[in-house]
Amino acid sequence: MIPTNRRLLTLLIASLSTGSIGTIAHAQDSGADLEEIIITGSRARPRTVSDSPVPVDVFNTETIEEVAFTDTNDVIKTLVPSF
C-alpha cells in the first residue's frame, strides 16, 4: 500500500508543479503589451504656491523630526498649511 501511495503522491506533485509553470509563462507574456509613459517636469519660470495648481513641498529629515507627532497625517497637517 505504501509504494502505491508514494507513486500517487509523486504523480500529484509533478502534475501540480507542471501546471504552475505554464501559468507563470503566460503571465510573463502578457507584460509585453504595456505602454511606456514618460513624465518630464521643469521649472522654466519661477512659480509661487498660489500660481501652482498642485504645489510641491519638500522637507528634510530634521524638519520632520522636529514635529512632535508620530502619525504621518498629523505631521503633514502641521508642516503644510494647505493640506
Domain annotation covers residue 41: no
Identify whether residues 55 and 83 lie together within a single domain.
yes
Domain annotation covers residue 42: no
Domain annotation covers residue 5: yes
Domain annotation covers residue 10: yes
Q: Which residue has the higher pLDDT, 4 or 26?
A: 4
Domain annotation covers residue 56: yes
Question: Quick check: 28 pLDDT over 60?
Answer: no
Domain annotation covers residue 53: yes
Q: Which residue has the higher pLDDT, 6 or 62?
A: 62
Q: 24 CB contacts (<8 Å, ≥6 apart)? A: none
CB atoms under 10 Å from CB of 66, counted, come to 11
Domain annotation covers residue 16: yes
Q: How many domains does the chain have?
A: 2
**Separation between Cα atoms, residue 53 and residue 55, nearest integer Å:** 6
Is the pTM above the cut of 0.85?
no
- For 64, the domain range is 48-83
